[in-house]
């Protein structure tokens, strides 16, 4: 399964930051990188405007994760349509957008589509489940009797 995400559209639906605030894009990218790692899927994230230099760093670069920006004179919607039309296996391709025209185009081309709101619900659920799983994996290390005695000495509460 591959996901093509209308980045600005998705951010407008979920972000607590202002759409132009770089933290909102960075936060979204980090969440999607975790999602991508858990689901072992490909993600194409399309943003409007000029490329953000903060999102082109080495730690954000992954083999199956791409952040794309439209060429000069092009907008994100036309880039999304172009990316959909280039896909060879559209049955395993999901387009995320709340833009009805984009979702209708995706469906007409044989791709799946989800609204930003529905995908956000899935994303939150998967990230929450991952957090719970990591909590269960944590090892509890109990202090040794010597450590307890030392701490009791520190606090002058020796038995």
| CA dist 121 → 59, 62, 100 (Å) | 26, 24, 19
| CA dist 18 → 14, 23, 94 (Å) | 10, 9, 26
SS3 for 75-107 is CHHHHHHHHHHHCCCHHHEEEECCCHHHHHHHH
Walk me through the domains of the chain, giving residue ranges and CATH numbers: 2-154 (3.40.50)
pLDDT for 20 equals: 66
Q: Measuring CA to CA, which residue among 132, 131, 102, 115 is closest to residue 14? A: 115
Q: Are 42 and 64 in contact (CB under 8 A)?
A: yes
User: Structure pTM?
Assistant: 0.77
- Digits of tens for pLDDT over the chain (159 positions)? 899 999 988 988 776 656 667 778 888 888 898 899 889 999 999 998 888 877 766 556 678 898 999 988 889 999 999 999 998 888 889 999 999 999 999 999 999 999 999 999 999 999 888 887 676 666 667 778 888 888 888 887 555
| CA dist 41 → 19, 32, 35, 72, 96 (Å) | 26, 11, 9, 29, 14
């Amino acid at each position: 399964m591959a996901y093509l995400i209308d980045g600005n559209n998705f951010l407008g639906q979920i972000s607590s930051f202002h759409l132009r605030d770089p933290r909102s894009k960075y936060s979204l990218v980090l969440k999607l990188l975790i999602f991508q790692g858990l689901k072992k899927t490909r993600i194409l994230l399309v943003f409007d405007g000029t490329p953000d230099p903060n999102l082109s760093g080495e730690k954000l670069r992954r083999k199956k994760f791409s952040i794309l920006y439209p060429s000069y004179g092009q907008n994100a919607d036309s880039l999304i349509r172009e990316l959909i039309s280039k896909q060879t296996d559209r049955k395993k391709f999901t387009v995320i957008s709340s833009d009805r025209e984009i979702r209708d185009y995706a469906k007409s081309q044989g791709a799946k589509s989800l609204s930003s709101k529905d995908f956000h619900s899935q994303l939150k659920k998967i990230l929450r489940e991952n957090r719970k799983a990591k909590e269960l994996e944590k090892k509890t290390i109990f202090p040794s009797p010597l450590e307890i005695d030392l701490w009791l000495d520190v606090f002058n509460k020796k038995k």
